[in-house]
Structure 1
Amino acid sequence: MKAIETKLKGCFILEPTIFEDSRGYFFEAFSKAKFEDLTKANSNFVQDNQSKSSYGVVRGLHQQIGEFAQAKLVRVLEGKVLDVAVDVRQDSPTYGEHVAVELSAENNRQLYIPRGFLHGFAVLSDTATFFYKCDNVYNKSSEDGVHPLDKTLAINWQIPFDKIILSDKDKDARAFI
């Protein structure tokens, strides 16, 4: 496995070592020891989540705050998404900046998003099955979010505006600033 730190300190793209032969392929999707060695992050993941969405769906930008803040390790099991992390750590030199990474079943990349980041993704394929590990349990009263089309953030979701599908919650989310 290889870890590539993004411009947002603590946020990593993880690329697996894939072993292929005539039967197919094998790779180790997660090893606590390797993950912690490469990222220097504590990986006490306690909850796994999975979603399936269709083309044009944008989920986010979400985070859990307070005692229920979460770090996430995300990947795509089927299809392709544009995965986005936005740094909202008040004391960070990259506050308000984002990274966008294509994750797919073909490239098997993962993105590690530490606590203190908004997270979202856009489905670029007909459908996508999205999987993520969280280091804290979900708590509805700790939800926070920002409108994914906020002009201040200027995220290019790689989907034509008239094809973007948002939940009512995301349509009503607050502005970034």
Structure 2
Amino acid sequence: MGLRKTSPEDLNVQACIEKGMKVGKTCHGLAASTIDYAHCWLIEIGDNVTFAPQTYLLAHDASTKRYLNYTKISKIKIEDNAFIGARALIMPGVTVGKNAIVAAGSIVTKSVPAGYVVGGNPAKEIAKTEEYINRHKANMDNAPVYDYQWTIGGNITPDMCNQMSKELDDAIGYVK
């Protein structure tokens, strides 16, 4: 029996798991996905989850960085038996419920209830930039806020990854 060569994609998944990403049993297709390595410890994947090719898991949103000097971060949770279609984008703060299906090409900005099928791009006008930034400034008063040491570049420790993960279990936070 020959040895299987480890692909760069498998190494990426393994690196994310080593950094704190949680992945359940019999997860399929994750190696063909793009995973937000910079905040991978904020990603939790249940059992029997299937990822079609080129899905994207993004636990951060840098749209606030220029204005606040902080990037918005939040957990992504994909629960048991979910299916994520090809080229779907799962944004920070989203939970995909048990037995849910996300159609290919979808941009998921809100949580998906268990047992539902969702699809499409919900991109629409939300607010003016100033209103958006002011809302996040106000949110930062009551949200977890992390400085640079809470990043990979700042040499975040495993204990800090675990602490951030717990603090952002049901919240949105901000990191420098």
**Which TM-score band applies after superposition, normalised by the shorter structure?**
under 0.3
Higher normalized contact order (CA 8 Å, seq sep 6+, divided by chain length): 1
More helix by share: 2
More strand by share: 1
TM-score relative to the length of structure 1: 0.23
Q: Greater CA radius of gyration, 1 or 2?
A: 2
